[in-house]
Chain A
Amino acid sequence: MKRHLISAADLSRDDALLILDTADELARISDRSIKKLPTLRGRTVVNLFFEDSTRTRISFEAAAKRLSADVINFSAKGSSVSKGESLKDTALTLEAMGADAVVIRHGASGAPYRLAGWVRGSVVNAGDGTHEHPTQALLDAFTMRRRLGSLEGRRVTVVGDVLHSRVARSNVLLLATLGAEVTLVAPPTLLPVSVDSWPCEVSYDLDAVLPKSDVVMMLRVQRERMNAAFFPTEREYSRRYGLDRDRVAKLHDEAIVMHPGPMNRGMEIAAEVADSARSTIVEQVANGVTTRMAVLYLLLGGADLGGEDK
């Protein structure tokens, strides 16, 4: 494995399978009464969050703590960032404190990549702008594998705001590495220009794709990033791209419904679908902790390999 986890594309097939297998073993630990492992004792993990997040930050914190690492939480609000400190100066401060890993969420795409050049520890991307969110893709793949077995040849349909979604990009890259066939479904205005070069298919017709899908992953409509008229009304979006009971009926019996959260119930996903037995939304949160434990263990648990990758 590389020293940092910045993009899902950093992971070879073997790396990805090693993370998922490790997470499988770690999942057994979360069933028992003593969940703590001594593995990362004496290591420091910094959660550096420049954007709001509940589940990702808590998930990384729980993962690091279960491995006995010391966790320092940093959020931009109430820190020197609001006094105008640059990312680099913040990074150098963390470096001076001896962080072994920095988990970063940032509004700017590429911020984790820049950070990786400034700190000695491992950098884990917890979401950068509209770019990537590799641990989300890993926990999604883990969830799919638990429900469906191997991902080889499985059909995964990702629906919604692909343009603003770091989850979609990371998922497409990782799922392609793992041998799944991905189809993106979105209004043309919500697909990035570069989508032709992604290892996936594109469709504008959700109803046509659903019957052959093993997994339907709904993306959140990111209202906070909607600064142009991407679709006429929310109601029209919901009609064409929302997952309601009638659409779910088109899925085959084993197919699952996923959502990275937070959901807009009634917008991209109907409440009754989100709460149905097909939905893995709650599992995804639990699986997030084990998957992130696996990532932290594999990045920090072994020998320090020195400054260079590999």
Chain B
Amino acid sequence: MYFEGTSKGKKIEVEIFEHPTEWLITLNDGELKETHAVKKWDYQRMDDAISFLFENTSYMINVHGEGVKYNVYTRGSYREIPLHNDESLLHESLKGGGGLTGGDSLSSGMPGKIVDILVAEGDEVKADQPVLIMEAMKMENEMRASRDCVIKEIKVEKGQSVESGSVLIVYGDK
């Protein structure tokens, strides 16, 4: 199977072939291409975690997520890894999930209340500029623009309660 993924903002091509006793996995980030033969013996699913002996380094791993995004946890660290191919993208779109959209809007990661909106439609904003303040988990959180853009549409009002995943502001290009 072939996947396209992202790790630390870098595009990675992943090819994986399953054999009875091992996986052959090729990682290619454009500069470096390496193939790893991961023995199933070295990647064992236990009740509570996956034990992964990678080049003799012992990782106790938990993986959550499915479809096109995987969250991998180990050694107090974690990584969100978007990983997809045509088939998984199709699965996601049929499921009604958003797939890989985003970046063109600001959405709420959790339920909360809009305390203040700091921009107006048509405003030009810089990346990292605060655009609205949302209250969630007892904190007022400043939400910032992800890139230089124009505020195309504001979908919420001051005082409004929003659900997790709601689109709050739509960005447009200058």
Partners in one complex: no
